[in-house]
Amino acid sequence: MDQQEIAKSAAMRMRVSQADGTPLYLQLVNQLKYLMASGRLRPGGELPPIRVLAEKLVINPSTVARAYRELEVERLVEKRSTNGTFVAEAESPFAAGEQRRILANRVDALLVEAKQFRVSTLQVIELVQERDSVLMEGEWVK
């Protein structure tokens, strides 16, 4: 699969839920941001056409259009003359902020768990550094 198809299929696997009350367009915006921040949607990748995604998710096409517009305003995606919507090429400060936010959530979860195990923050940092060097050497230890 080329970059375009990867981007499309990742976006097509999005889900919306009416259970938590968050407006649907915001749910789409958040998920697309997550896909971008996690690298599953790479710069230059094309998002699914509005109509296709709307039919897939069974939601109003204007909701998808609204989500794309929102991302366009934040310069995370760009419209091209061909009518398609693409992940922006430029490294955007928003993407970096989003990455930070996602990482912060993981760190929070890690710290909570460490507290429960009575492991100090200093010990956690040491463990992070240790794991980092292990990963850098390419040795995957279980």
Query: Which residues lie near other proteins (CB under 8 A)?
Result: 16, 18-24, 50-51, 54-55, 58-62
For other proteins, give the closer residue by CB, 62 or 105: 62
Contact yes or no for 53/16 (Cβ under 8 A): no
Minimum CB distance to other proteins, residue 49 (Å): 10
Residue 52 vs 110, nearer CB to other proteins: 52
Question: Closest CB to other proteins among 42 and 49?
Answer: 49
- Determine the 3-state secondary structure of 74 from DSSP: coil
In terms of CB distance, is 1 or 19 closer to other proteins?
Answer: 19
53 in Cβ contact with 66 (< 8 Å): no
Asked if 7 contacts 87 with a C-beta cutoff of 8 angstroms, the reply is: yes
Residue type (1 letter), 136: M
CB 87 → other proteins: shortest distance, Å? 23
12 contact partners, CB below 8 Å, separation of at least 6: 48, 52, 53, 56
CB of 118 to other proteins, least distance (A): 30
CB of 88 to other proteins, least distance (A): 25
